[in-house]
Structure 1
Amino acid sequence: MANHEIFVKELNKKIPVTKETTFYELSKMCDSFHRAPIMAAKSGNALIELCRKVNEEQEVEFV
């Protein structure tokens, strides 16, 4: 699987995304609306979909 990251403009920081990354790890970089119980993404595709959802609702860019 290719390396992916999301760029959080507010933090001016890229967050690496792997198949082992949990939604919780991503959500704690976002506002409280996105904080959720720990949910491990079981596949890269599922995690990328979660990233896209976060990207759409937060001002972040999917790289």
Structure 2
Amino acid sequence: MVSDGGGLREMWPAFLYVYVENADETYKLAMNAGAVSIEEPMDTPYGDRRATIRDPWGNLWQVATGCP
């Protein structure tokens, strides 16, 4: 999913929800590459394992691994 940041509590250029093979590993890679942690990996009530990061350009990314 991709959207602009309008209408939410805080403004940012883009908000992206991306499914990846392993949310924890993707989170670690992003942290090592200089991303800012907004939300550490966690299990959601709807079954995804998800983390939220901010890239150097201000975009928010939620990286998630879907439920099996």
Q: TM-score, normalised by structure 2?
A: 0.28
Q: TM-score, normalised by structure 1?
A: 0.29
Greater RCO structure (CA 8 Å; 6+ sep): 1
More strand per residue: 2
Larger gyration radius, structure 1 or structure 2: 2
